[in-house]
Amino acid sequence: MSVIEIILEHPWPFLAWMLPIFGALMMPVLGRINNKVRDYGAVAFAFSAVVSAAMMIPYLFEGHTPGDIKLITWMTLPNGTPLDFGVLVDPLSIIICNVVALISFLIVVYSISYMHGDEGLTRYWFLFLYFIGSMLLLVLADNLVMTMIGWEGVGICSYGLIGYYYRDKKERWLGGPPPTEMYPPSHAGMKAFVVTGIGDVLILAAIFILYYFAGTFNYVELMQTSEVWLTQMASVPGLVALFGVLLLGGPIGKSAQFPLHEWLPEAMAGPTSVSALIHAATMVKAGVYLVARMSPIFYVGTWTLHLPEAQVYFITIAIVGAFTCFLAASQALVAVELKKILAYSTVSQIGYMMLGLGLSGFSKDAYLPGLTAGIYHLASHAMFKAALFLGAGSVIHSVHTIYTFNMGGLKKYMKWTYILMGLATLSLSGVPPFSGFWSKDAVFLAAMQAGTPLAYVLLGVGVVSAAMTFAYSIRFISLTFRGEASEFIQDLEHHGHAPHESPNVMIWPIAILVGLFIITGVLGLAGVFYPSLNPEVFIEKQLHHMVEVLLPHEVAENLHVPHISATTKWIGAGLSALALSVGGFLGYNFYWTKNWDSWTWVQKSSIRKSIHNFLWNRWYMNAFFYRVFVDGTLGLTHALYNGFEAKVLIPLSDAVASATQSASDVMYEVVEEGAIFGLINTSFPAAVISIYHKAKKSQTGLLSMNILYIVIMLLAIIFGMLLNGGT
């Protein structure tokens, strides 16, 4: 089939990412025509991605998907293997593609009002649409090379969007309040680019190792031949484990997991709509997607080939996810910037997704429940976290401050924002029947299904983190909307700038997102009695079908959806209830009713003060990374300059320069002046002139003398010919 015929047969997976990228390229052109044409053009191109993604949903209900659609052969690799340009349309890519497209579109609509009047709006729309297109390419690509093109496109756009206010005006800085260090937007963008770049280097190393043994980058070919090349890789001791850990480097960086998590709190420097885009549905979910996409390979290595090294992939990401979940939740307990609290929450919730995906490899029966839990929580989190970030944007847009201690009492000014953010907070906290409860509960059930001692330890970490989640959720909602208005708000009101509700074009996207996760939660509740309605069951069924198609037939035959007993489900629900009870009790008394004064309680104990300082300073990890990698690198450069360059290289270069100059002086005097100028430029012309003057005397001008010269010349020629003939 020709390229055109293939696209006409399956247009939607190609249009889904091509149209937003084309729209990005059109933004400067549309901006030249009219600002409104440009703005609504951006909405139209974002909506085209929604339509294209939605047109792939029927595949899920038909029971089969197109799979790997190869468009053209892009290039031939060194060993003769073709690298194709194509898309992989399966349940995983369809589900995540729709999540990305829909939520990105709602954020674009929100941006129409939120970014209105901004002088750099053409640049904003270009980066925004290119970001969406790159993310969709990343998800739909059928090979690792195309995935990395989308991966790096997302990274470059995030650099531009996080550092959008690159002029670094003081009111755009974040961090603090003083004396706590603050960071300008340009610094925050560079930090995100550099830190995620570390993970990108690691994943590139893994891809090179993979290609050496597998000879292909195509996902389907990798999985169907996994038994062969994994066996070859395992012949080198430790290489399979190294490959798995390196492969996780990219997702850990992109999804802001420990130890590459410190870029994300500073990513709040961009517009709040950018924060919603990056932290809700797109960039930070790229790592989760890739871990899920590659997990069948390590399932084969662990449970078919029985390679203990292959399980390192699952164990590593489970431990990293659980620890990050706890780490970020603890930091959110003390943060005072509204968006930064939500940023820590994002890091923590992605930890749950990684935990679920990691637990999938702890036992055969845990694979599908763990994989399902990770993807289910991804979709659920995308909805309620996007709503929270957009709500936070409305608040900051209204009160012009990022600090929660400058807020308070806003529910009387911003009723709809308060209600919508409150509902989203309940879902974040895992309160039933909202979607967050069911998706987080799925992670707990996956841990119990895994059934190993390590799985139970990680489950305990997840439960404690869930309690902290509810506590900090009550805290930021209370500090923002409840109680008396702060002096800052009162001052705004006094000067005629009282907080006000956001316009409908900003409220409606939040309301739609809230409606989506409420519907998802209600379906989860209905699924208790009618499993066919349960979103978790639907996702599990789709992922089971995907893995059956991708894995070798003999492996897929042994893969099944385990039965989870009612007792296990009740224990999972009980753990959720325990976490909510503890977190709710603390949050209610400290912040909702303020029966206890949190600051006084902290100050009364030196231990509690130390813990607070430890959390406030981000476990001193950020300071450590700056001290070692930033200050350390700068210190090393100064040491090299003062100790080696200044004392060795510079004197050596001076000596070489002096010797060279001396040699050039000698060359000038001896060669240029003596030989070239003296001999060639002076003596040779003088000799020629002398010969000329002597020869000139033979030219008398008399005809008789000229005839004599001719005769002599003819005789000489004849004599020469005779001599030549004689020989």
| Together in a domain, 516 and 643 | no
| Together in a domain, 185 and 297 | yes
Q: Which of 278, 430, 412 is nearest to 339 (CA)?
A: 278
| Together in a domain, 397 and 430 | yes
Q: Which of 62, 131, 136 is nearest to 99 (CA)?
A: 136
| Together in a domain, 476 and 625 | no
Judged on CB neighbours under 10 Å (0-12, 13-18, 19+), 602 is middle
| Together in a domain, 560 and 453 | yes
Instruction: Please tell me what DSSP assigns to residue 11.
Output: -
Q: What are phi and psi of 581, to 5 degrees?
A: -65, -50
| Coil, helix or strand at residue 542 | helix
> Which tokens in the block code for residue 83?
């690298």
The rounded distance, in Å, linking the Cα atoms of 333 and 591 is 12
| Together in a domain, 372 and 510 | yes
Our CA angle for 516, 512, 98, nearest 5°, is 60
Answer yes or no: is pLDDT of 353 > 90: yes
**Ramachandran assignment for 168, one of left (phi > 0), alpha (psi -120 to 50 degrees), beta (any other):** left
Cis-peptide into 259, omega within 30 deg? yes
The terminus-to-terminus CA distance of the chain in angstroms comes to: 82
How many domains would you assign to the chain? 3
* Overall pTM > 0.85: yes
Q: Give the Cβ contact number of residue 135 at 10 Å.
A: 31
Q: HEC string of 671-686?
A: HHHHHHHHHHHHHHHH
**Ramachandran assignment for 661, one of left (phi > 0), alpha (psi -120 to 50 degrees), beta (any other):** alpha
| Coil, helix or strand at residue 630 | helix
Our CA angle for 23, 26, 28, nearest 5°, is 130
The rounded distance, in Å, linking the Cα atoms of 578 and 269 is 36
Q: Do 459 and 444 form a contact (C-beta atoms < 8 A)?
A: yes
Among the ranges given (170-179, 340-349, 466-475), the one the predictor scored with the smallest mean pLDDT: 170-179
Q: Which tens digits make up the pLDDT trace of 273-317?
A: 998 988 776 888 999 999 999 999 999 999 999 999 999 999 999
The rounded distance, in Å, linking the Cα atoms of 70 and 618 is 47
Confidence grade of residue 171 (pLDDT, cut at 50, 70, 90):
confident
- The reported pLDDT for the residue numbered 436 is 95
| Together in a domain, 35 and 118 | yes
The rounded distance, in Å, linking the Cα atoms of 390 and 274 is 10
Of 616, 634, 657, which one is at a domain's C-terminal end?
Answer: 616
Q: Which residue in the block uniquely carries the two structure tokens 């492969």?
A: 247
Angle between helices 283-303 and 338-359 (to 10 degrees): 20
Answer yes or no: is pLDDT of 338 > 80: yes
Q: Which tens digits make up the pLDDT trace of 399-414?
A: 989 999 999 899 999 9
Alpha-carbon torsion angle 414, 420, 426, 428, nearest 10: -110
| Together in a domain, 351 and 400 | yes
Our CA angle for 353, 558, 94, nearest 5°, is 45
- The reported pLDDT for the residue numbered 671 is 76
| Together in a domain, 573 and 665 | no
Answer yes or no: is pLDDT of 693 > 70: yes
| Together in a domain, 612 and 627 | no
Q: Give the Cβ contact number of residue 397 at 10 Å.
A: 17
| Together in a domain, 420 and 465 | yes
Instruction: Give residues with Cβ within 8 angstroms of 138, minimum separation 6.
Output: 147, 150, 151, 153, 154, 286, 289
Q: Which of 78, 230, 86 is nearest to 146 (CA)?
A: 86
Answer yes or no: is pLDDT of 535 > 80: yes
The rounded distance, in Å, linking the Cα atoms of 13 and 433 is 34
Q: Give the Cβ contact number of residue 723 at 10 Å.
A: 9
- The reported pLDDT for the residue numbered 107 is 95
Q: Which tens digits make up the pLDDT trace of 104-155?
A: 999 999 999 999 888 889 999 999 999 999 999 999 999 999 999 999 999 9
> Which tokens in the block code for residue 284?
């930070």
Q: Domain of 716?
A: 698-727
Q: Helices (H) and strands (E) in the chain — how many of each?
A: 32, 4
- The reported pLDDT for the residue numbered 701 is 64
H-type alpha helices, 55-90: 58-62
| Together in a domain, 387 and 473 | yes
